[in-house]
Structure 1
């Protein structure tokens, strides 16, 4: 039966999907005859209203936009796939597209399909024989099915494929990542449920040493020397969160939502300047990520995973726990998603919000006036963690008191392992992996994220300049050779707006208003500071370079379009490439004084260490957006000195500079921590 919703229950068009909306969307597509006995819901997410409609509604010049939901369906028995838009306000289907999988690729892979793999491969005599040659049976191994990519195999065109590795698991609590059954891979057709090919390249010893990192034989005796750290806010947190996801904190105002594909999404970010609330970012998210591996062996050449577009990493959001994932005065938000039957499911505590002290914000001890002032920085943290197979990823958005915005990815979990072949005939170590334990390899790989940043700096009309530090030669105007300057290059159209970072010249990108200036007559702006880490290392004419073209540049700038949401295109799984940013850029639209979107590739190139095994300490990748002439002066001058008992003002002039007023004697304050 069709379910309809009343618009009076919706407080903002960008509010995250509610459980009743998910149920309504599922009912609408079922009523339309699109759901059979073996139909699975691959993706259910809010199809955000056009930006122009949202801005008009907020301005009071337009009506509340209809709530529309994108529903992607897979018929397991036949492989037929549909991309549907349902209007849950009107209770009707808006559009239905049956995908031509040979042309546009496949919908993301489902957990249900992964669960079919053990039975499928166990039925293959070739797979069983390959395991037997290694002294193993199907019962002794677990299977790890992975996205197949596109490599010109004619028998896979239009077919829904996965590739499967085996790992020995010695007992129910044994981490199988320590025991890869290497030199062997199976290709599986997920629709016909058959093994189409087994590549048995080499029989390699299965590494024996376990990787059970909580086992005392590895972990050793627990440490008892660390004293507790307690973070308390006796008067509570300084931020507020409304029922529909609006957050306010120290002048910042934004909306928080969650999507099964992109995970955490931030909308309508603005910051107060006096009595004015000034816009900075319309929408920010992780649009895509790819993990390309470097091992070219016959069983591993295809390892390139799009954790967003192929797996929908938002589905695997963790339920967070106080004192482990977040510290302090915590506010959690539950995450509501659709399961594979289309029913809503709730992940408790999926999003964590808290404040953190972040050291000194500004400080000066003046030799003329004797004034000695210090202010401490603080940041609001909005985060979530997701586990995709072996890796765990945390995504943290930070808002600072001075208007700075940062995004940081935290990477931990298990390395994806291989058997380590040892030295070659020339005596050189294996060129494409590290040995992290005896006989255990970890192939070199990258983690490359694409942040989609729809910036509206002081409004929609913006422009982007690339800014480099320039060393000047000795000349009449620079007789002593000390001069250097900044060179600004306006990115006037999309054709020239695919750029690489360059640490040698301190390259940044300034996104500025074309309608507003500061008191010095300069355009108000925010600057993107990128980490100059390697872009995609694969060959330019490789399959993965075509499919993950976004990762070949650090920065792309495009003119805004409502339907240009994903850096690698809408349908990523088994898509041959060319979609997403290269297709968007091909229009070569103007970037002068228009609505621009900045896409930033950031990440890690990982040559694993023994210290990354058996569980990897967190590694980090991040970028920063800083106000650059956005404010007329330091916006934190009005920030009060700390009144914490650990940072009391000096009791006398003799105790100046001691944060506890000399109560601990003449030595350094033990409470001071930078």
Structure 2
């Protein structure tokens, strides 16, 4: 067994038994989180096949009857609890939201006389077709809220059970729910607004119309099989080697990425994402969702279907997760792995020799999808033949809706009377780099335009400027598309044949970071999203950019707290935290279901090789060219 192997169903069962034996469980204690407690990097790198492994788990426990919660680390190998720490919800934040709490909200609000009366005043008396939507509460310093475990609830109406409720928001009304006391704490009944009537049933032929008949089939085949191999959690493809992990919070994790036997990145994951909305109205000002820290991205994973979610010669991996009772549940086909053609890799027709050469690029794809409420997110890691690797995050699903007020600067109309507020999807990728070893340096590289002068008499010169990021205070950076800004992670110990350090370069997309005011609640809680890059010195306890417990945390945890130490980075074991994403003002074309929008970043080798590493890629043979 390897220290980073994914947890098995048996290990989850043993972990629950260990916690039960220690007296930490009971009839009202639930598991908002249970995942592998990864050993420190030096322990993993020192591990050799056959070495003993102490398999440990980290669990967050919540007593839903009292609201008391704690974090526990236990060994399933030794059958012992190593440590437990009580959580102070007023200062530490709350555990992630449980599925059963989403279900409880429906009962709580429908039992509240004020909420029922507010609906009746709007002409809604049949509650069976009302869908209360439980949403994370955030932290806004509202008196009486700190320390309470809460959700805020907006509601939607169905015309019949199969009708998609997102077309019919019951706007102007929000319930603040105390989950522990199981009651509506406050009802904000701001205004009566007509519920939009037009349906948006994208899966109803009566609404969509007949399928088009002009698309001919595309068949993706690999008659000799795939070029990659999967042995347990280890994937090998064209010189690449990595371990696949799956975390209840982060979802897909790639461990120990190496190329041609040389380390590149020790651990890569989407450690957090936040979706802040722009509507400042009394009903919507609080809408900000941390899909990893509050809802647990990995727990929302889909089972994928061949021919729909993935094409070609597919290898799937299942995910084994702990449910709210700490019991294992298996999600089949959670992770998809396949190859795909990606156009021309390199090409040249030589003027003098008349030689014509073309090689085709292909990439290895490792992906999964998660559904968080109304949105669906696809996470695609790509490995290329030339040593490039990328992350692409795809957003689809249904935009969050409200009643549209003509002239509103906060929302766009998507259907008659129906609006969709502007918002952002901001992801933070944690890249624990090991470019040819753990000793790395980070440089910011900008393009520099040079003025006319003695060294530039014709005004055509431009060059590049390298700025070494020597400490964590210097490592909080913004993308500058106008300067072509990139960040180079280089080995502090190894050089290529030209005497330059071997390196990889992070190419950001350079889209806007968090747009909320710096003094806002969301800017405090999602401080990571205010900068495109943070660089920290590796610490095994620093896993999540907004802190361990994001739900209802008052802010300031994670990256701003860690970087205040201003640890040195030059030649150190460094971690890159890259914020990227999309700013979305929905269009009519995004309704009633949104075509995929995508964002991401690229990591390219920069002197990692001594020459083009794909010179040995063979030309495509005629039988594969039709």
TM-score above 0.5, yes or no: yes
Q: Secondary structure at the match of 1:460?
A: coil
Matched, 1:603 2:581: yes
> Runs (4+) of structure 1 moved beyond 6 Å?
none
1:351 has 2:335 as partner: yes
Aligned to 2:230: 241
Cα distance in 2, alignment partners of residues 528 and 543 from structure 1:
30
Q: Quote the offset at 1:341 in angstroms.
A: 1.0
CA distance in 2, matches of 1:335, 1:618: 24
| Helix, strand or coil at the partner of 1:22 | helix
What residue is the counterpart of 2:472 in the other structure? 494
**CA RMSD after TM alignment:** 0.9
> What is the deviation of 1:644?
5.0
C-alpha deviation, 1:430, in angstroms: 0.6
Aligned to 1:283: 267
Of 181, 191, 202, which residue of structure 2 is paired with 1:202?
A: 191
Residue pair 2:350, 2:356 contacting (<8 A) in 1 also: yes
Q: The residue matched to 1:451 in structure 2 has which SS?
A: strand
For the 8 Å contact 2:226–2:313, the answer to whether it is kept is yes
Q: Does 1:335 align with 2:319?
A: yes
* Contact kept in structure 1, 2:377 and 2:395, CA below 8 Å: yes
Q: Is the 8 A contact 1:205 1:419 kept in 2?
A: yes
The answer as to 2:126 corresponding to 1:148 is: no
Gaps of 5+ in 1: 1-10, 423-428, 648-670
The correspondence for 2:42, drawn from 41, 48, 52, is 52
Aligned pair partner of 2:171 in 177, 182, 203: 182
Q: Aligned to 2:47, what secondary structure does the other structure show? A: helix
Secondary structure of residue in 2 paired with 1:494:
coil
Name the CA distance, whole Å, in 1 between partners of 2:524 and 2:203: 41
CA shift for structure 1 position 528: 0.1
**Contact kept in structure 2, 1:49 and 1:65, CA below 8 Å:** no
Q: What displacement does 1:63 show?
A: 4.6
Aligned to 1:4: none
Give the 5 Å matches for 1:77-116. Answer: 77-116=65-104
Once the two structures are TM-superposed, the CA of residue 594 in structure 1 deviates from its matched residue by 0.6
Post-superposition Cα deviations, 1:292-351, rounded to whole Å, max 9, x if no partner, equal 000000000000000000010110100000000000000000110011111111100000
| Residues 69 and 644 of structure 1: CA distance in aligned 2, closer, same or farther (over 3 Å) | farther
* Contact persistence 2:436–2:502 (CA under 8 A): yes
Q: How far 1:469 moved relative to its partner?
A: 0.5
- Asked if the contact 1:54–1:65 (Cα under 8 Å) also holds between the matched residues in 2, the reply is no
Which residue, 167, 181, 187 being the options, matches 2:156?
Answer: 167
What's the CA shift for 1:218?
2.7
Deviation at 1:64, TM superposition (A): 3.7
* Counterpart mapping for 1:509-548 below 5 A: 509-548=487-526
Alignment of structure 1 residues 76-475 onto 2, 5 Å: 76-137=64-125, 138-243=127-232, 245-272=233-260, 277-422=261-406, 429-475=407-453
Partner residue, 2:618: 640
Matched length: 625
Q: What is the Cα deviation at residue 516 of structure 1? A: 0.5
Instruction: Select the residue among 71, 93, 112 that pairs with 2:59.
Output: 71
Rounded to whole Å, the distance in 2 between the matches of 1:418 and 1:343 is: 38
Matched, 1:18 2:8: yes
List alignment gaps of at least 5 residues for structure 2. Answer: none
Q: Separation in 2 of the partners of 1:289 and 1:614?
A: 24
1:170 offset after TM fit, Å?
Answer: 1.0
Please state whether the residue corresponding to 1:498 is helix, strand or coil.
coil
Mapped contact 1:454–1:597 kept (Cα < 8 A): yes
TM-score, structure 1 normalization: 0.92
Task: Please state if 1:574 is matched with 2:552.
Answer: yes
Give the Cα separation in 2 of the matches to 1:644 and 1:372: 15
**Distance (Å, rounded) in 2 between the aligned partners of 1:646 and 1:207:** 53
Q: Is the 8 A contact 2:129 2:161 kept in 1?
A: no
1: CA distance between counterparts of 2:562 and 2:358?
48
Task: Report the alpha carbon displacement of residue 221 of structure 1 after superposing the two structures with TM.
Answer: 1.4
Question: Which secondary structure state, in structure 1, belongs to the residue aligned with residue 473 of structure 2?
Answer: helix
1:663 equivalent in structure 2: none
**Separation in 2 of the partners of 1:142 and 1:91?**
44
Query: Does the 8 A contact of 1:13 with 1:64 survive in 2?
Result: no
Taking structure 1 as reference, are residues 590 and 64 closer, same or farther at Cα in structure 2, changes over 3 Å only?
Answer: farther
The equivalent residue for 2:30 is 40
